[in-house]
Each structure stands twice: as C-alpha cells, then as structure tokens.
A and B are shown apart, each in its own frame.
Chain A
Amino acid sequence: MNESSTPFKRHLRDFWIAFRRNKLGLLGGFLVLTAIILALFAPLLTPYQPTEVIRDEKGRGLTFAPPSVHGPLGTDDAGRDVWTQLIYGARISLTVGFMAGFIAMFVGSLFGILAGYFGGRVDNLLMRITDVLLVIPDLPLMLVLVATVRQMELNISPLVVLTAVIGLLYWTSTARLIRSQVLTIKERQFVDRARAIGAGHMHIIRKHILPQIMPLIVANTVLVLSIAILIESGLAFLGLGDPTKPSWGTMLNFAFDRSAITNGAWWFYLPPGLAIVWVSLGCVLLGNVLEEMLNPRLTGHHLEDGQSMIAVSGKRSE
C-alpha cells in the first residue's frame, strides 16, 4: 500500500477501485449525477426562463410546437420551452426528493436505533407509533395533510410543506429495517466487550452499532431518495406542487390538464416521465451497489493481499 497518502485518501481510492468494477453501480451513479449536473447548471444550458413564453415572428405564442419546430423538446400549451422547464424542474424534484429522503432516513434511523437498542418500553412505544403510521395508507394521508396545511395559509412555501410531509411520514419501513438490524447487533459479543471496557450507551451506539448499520443506512437513503422523488412527483401530479415552480410532477399535471395527450404533444409529457424514471432507476442501482460495497465483510479475504497471516511468536523476540 502507498504509505505516503493519507488514510482517508487511500480509503477513497480503494473505494473508487472497487466501485469501478461494478457496471450497474457505475450506470446508477451516471444517471443520478447527470440529473444533478443538469439541475445545477440549468441557467447555463438554456437561454430561456421556465415561465418565459416563446413567440414566433408575428409575436404570437408558439403553442404545442413539436421539437422539429422549436428547441430540443418543443413548447407546451402556453408556449413555454419544455427543455427549460425540464432542467429547472429537476432542481425542484431533486431538492424536494433529497431533503425529504434525508429527513425520512434521519427519523427512521433514530426510531430504529432507539427502539432496537433500548428495547422494552421504549421499543413498545416507538414501534406502536410506527405501526400506526404504517397502517394508514400513505398517499391519502399525505394528500389530506398537504391540503390541510395549505388551508391554514401559514405562508409557507408549498414545497416546504411537501418536503416535510413526505419526510415525516415516509420513515416507517426504514425504522423497522434498522430496528431489526440493531436487535441482532446488540446481542453480539463485541457489544458486551464494549460494555466491559466501560462504555456507556451513547458510546456503544456511536462506535459499535452505528458503523454496523451505516451501510444499511447509506444504501437505504439512496433507495428512499428515489421513493421520495416518486412520491413528490405523484403529489405534484395531483396538483399539490407549487405551480409557480414546476417540478417534473407539476409538468405532468399541466400536460394532463391541458390535453397534451389528445393534442399528440408527446414532447410535453414524455420527458418529465422519463426523467423521473431516469433518476429513480439511478438511485435504485446505486443503492444496491453501495450496500454491497460499504459492508467491509464483503470486501476481501485476509489472504487476498498477500500478507503473511501467521503472528510473530513471542519467542522470536528473545
């Protein structure tokens, strides 16, 4: 091993070498990364604003113009550029999806770890809360919540409401997953050993439980991200997004409402749909591969790196 590089750099390099081997993971990473790059550099990639109406020479709005007439992806019913809406929409979809996914992961991991580690009454209380949320159908509950919060006219951006509702409702399966894993880990002997060296609960959770379930958390985060993006799209499609800041779901909603399908304007509804598939597929592929990779037990065998495995006997030093 190259001793001059820092352990972190070395770690990162090892990670990259292993990651590169996995074609599906590379594909997933590529899909997610392109979406993020398009979202980040949206203003550089289009001359228009997402709400700007494209006009022909006579000053009329260029409605339902196919890609052959205008831009890479044509225009919508109001004459706005679809490509521009798509890459600006990526910003909204990804932001809401990522934020909601992270909130869900955080709440789920916290519930799962506390319930699994402490057990008994804490477990009972936390898991009953989880059960209640688990049995209520997600989508109707979210619809009602988003609509109710909106009715209250609290002057909060609809996107924040959407993020919070998805994030605070979609952690239940994660909590159960993490809890079951923690339950098996806390019975392992190295947890006893940690207690024997004088460690308290916080230390054991931080140093011994968390590193064990980290692969699960990271992989599951990526998977939950894709689900959060899907749910956001679903809710936005049902009209719960922010009409002034259209996400991919909102675009689909517009397309559906304004009879893009009967007009044969496939360039209006196909791109946002495919974009959603693009990102969620990328997240799923990436999530599966990350889970495999971040688990050190799956990385290598002690004979693989060609080092001697026999300890130097105490006698030899004499």
Chain B
Amino acid sequence: MTDALRPGSGQALLSARHLTTEFHLADKTVARALEDVSFDVLPGQTVGLVGESGCGKTTTLMSVMRLLPSNGRITAGNVYFNGNDLLALSERDMRAHRWKDMAIIFQGAMNALNPVLRIGDQIREAILLHDLMDRAAADRRVDELLELVGIPRGRRDQYPHQYSGGMRQRAMIAMALACSPDLLFADEPTTALDVMIQAQVLELLKEIQKKLGLAIVLVTHDLGVVAEMCDTVVVMYGGKVAEYGSAELVYNQPQHPYTQRLLESFPDLNRPPDSANRDLATIPGTPPRLNALPPGCRFSPRCHMSMDVCAQVTPGKVNVSTGSGVLHQVACHLLNEQEINK
C-alpha cells in the first residue's frame, strides 16, 4: 500500500483501496459507479457512508462483499479484511467469509425477509449454513438473539407479514448478528421507519455495538444519524470520495463545498435564528448520471465555488493538515489552491 491513509492503518479490520466498480448497462454503455474509493474501518469503530441517492453508497457495500449483480465488475482496487485480499478469493472461499466475518442489514427489512419462511428459521439459516453448531444449539442461539434485539420469544415461529416494520428491522439485526461477525454493514437501517422506531433501532445498534465490540459501516443520507453514531465519515459524490475524515472534523470544519452545502441543507437547532444564512441551503441540479460523467471534478457543474480548473482536472486527495494527525482528507481544487498558495 503506497498511500496508507494514516499511520497504523495496518490494524484496520477492513481496508478498501482504490476500489473501482463498473456496471455494463443494457444500452452498451459502462457506468462507473465507484472510482478510486478508499477507506478504513477500525475494529469497534462506526464509519458513516453519506451522500445523495445514486452516489455509490450501496455499491460500495456490495463491492466489498462481492455481491454485485451479474453486470457489475470490480475493475480495480483491493479490499483487505484483516489483511486478506477479499477480491483475490475464489467464490467458494468468499462465501465462507460472508456473514461469519461481515454481515449486512439490508435496506428495507420486509424485502430482505423471505415471506414464506418463519422468522426464527431465517435467523437460524446462516448459523446452520456455516456449520457453526448443531440444530439444538442453533435454536438456543436464535432465542438469545431474539432476546438481544427485544423480540418476545413466542414470536419466533411467525412469518414476516405478522411483524410490524420495527420488529422486522430488529429481526434483520438479529439475523445479522447470528454468526457473530466482526463487521456489520447497515444499509439505511432506518428508512421507511417512523421517527420513534428509528430512534429505537439506532439505540439498539449502539447498544449491541457496545456489548459485542462490533465495527459498523452505516450507510445513510440522514446526517443527524451520522453525527450521533459515527466516528468517521465518508462523504461520497458521484461514485468518488469527496471528503473523508473523523466525524468531528467533517462536521465542524467541512472543507469540500459539497459537504458544506449538505450540512447547511440540514436543519440545525444550534444555528442562531437571526444569522444571515438562516434559510436552509440547497444544491441545484441532480447527481450526474454515472454513464455520462462530467469531466474534471464531478461536483463542479453544481458547485457554488467552482473554478475553471474544476471542469478540466480531476482533483486529487489532499490531507487537511490539522496538526493533530487526525484523519481528514478532501478531494477538491480549493484545497490544492490553498496548499499551493501557502
């Protein structure tokens, strides 16, 4: 690794390096859904993946787990899990890694549960599949898991349609924990849930993380959730990492115009009501189509601070020097200017 993101990244549980994923579309064009995506997940840490819809958050998870649909290919990069390159494994060996080492909570629990199988059996499925224990032990484990996520034991033999939305999400969490993974991907775990249940589910995730020492990668477009849960934030735009750093720095000193606008577009109770920018910010336009990307910086057509160079040259990553050595990287020409001018 020539560009270790920071000293000691060798201890990272999961490292994605220069991950590039392409989709071959029906109209023969190629959509580059991810380009040069790098980030680390340390053991026990929570990493937030944020960005608009279609910016590559879910694709990142699917690339890491190698669950891309058949028209998707990882064309460059590496994914290291505990130092092993996952992309070099055969499909068979990769299967053994899934769920045992990293599990995923899918977007929309109803769809991720098989409607004709009992909840308990679906939770047990992964345990039996990996031959971790015999049936009786697996059944006890299911009971434990249900208790952990707060589902009454009497409901393990029910079908998904007999569960409410929040309970389904809890069942999904129980399922994800079945094989005691070290890393949990949560793909928008709270969408389609009302605010009360959202809070409960997040609370549950936090509690479980504390109890089991899991690392969590949280995909969301709810910045409030990120602020509450995450240690590190990866802000993605158009399949690239726009800003990456510790949650505190990204929140309090956002460097990329996209991050700045994203944060300003979110209501903040602490913002003084009489300040000049009391209205919520908006970002004009829509994210670029991935098979027709703009040249240069992908955000430049929508950026309120774009310069001539932005539409011509792709900005490289710059380490924002904060003196403390805390992680904070930004891919923006504005920073280059400042660096050069210094």
Shortest Cβ distance from residue B196 to the other chain A in the assembled complex, whole angstroms: 10
Contact A297 B115 (CB under 8 A): yes
Q: Is B157 an interface residue (CB 8 A)?
A: yes
Task: For the complex, give the distance between the alpha carbons of A199 and B161 in Å.
Answer: 24
Q: Is B129 an interface residue (CB 8 A)?
A: yes
Q: Number of A interface residues at 8 Å Cβ cutoff, please give it.
A: 36
Q: Once A and B bind, how many residue pairs between them come within 8 Å at the CB atom? A: 109
Shortest Cβ distance from residue B218 to the other chain A in the assembled complex, whole angstroms: 17
Task: For the complex, give the distance between the alpha carbons of A314 and B173 in Å.
Answer: 13
Residues of A within 8 A of B96 (CB): 198
Contact A188 B167 (CB under 8 A): no
Given contacts A307-B155, A309-B163, A311-B170, whether A193 and B106 have CB atoms under 8 Å apart is yes
Task: For the complex, give the distance between the alpha carbons of A115 and B10 in Å.
Answer: 46
Residue ID in chain B nearest A304 by CB atoms: B162
Contact B100 A198 (CB under 8 A): yes
Contact B108 A314 (CB under 8 A): no
Contact A198 B113 (CB under 8 A): no
Q: Which stretch, A67-75, A106-114, A156-164, A200-208, touches the partner chain B?
A: A200-208
Majority-rule SS of A interface residues: helix
Contact B157 A190 (CB under 8 A): no
Shortest Cβ distance from residue A302 to the other chain B in the assembled complex, whole angstroms: 4
Given contacts A189-B112, A313-B150, whether A196 and B103 have CB atoms under 8 Å apart is yes
Shortest Cβ distance from residue A232 to the other chain B in the assembled complex, whole angstroms: 34
Given contacts A196-B103, A197-B98, A212-B114, whether A315 and B203 have CB atoms under 8 Å apart is yes
> Which residues of B are interface residues toward A (Cβ below 8 A)?
65, 67, 95-100, 103-104, 106, 108, 111-117, 125-126, 129-130, 149-152, 154-155, 157-159, 161-164, 166-167, 170, 175, 179, 200, 203-204, 207
24 A-B contact pairs sorted by A residue (CB < 8 Å): A189-B108, A190-B111, A190-B112, A190-B115, A196-B104, A197-B99, A197-B125, A198-B96, A198-B99, A295-B116, A296-B116, A296-B159, A297-B115, A302-B158, A302-B161, A309-B164, A310-B164, A310-B167, A311-B149, A311-B167, A311-B200, A312-B151, A313-B200, A317-B150
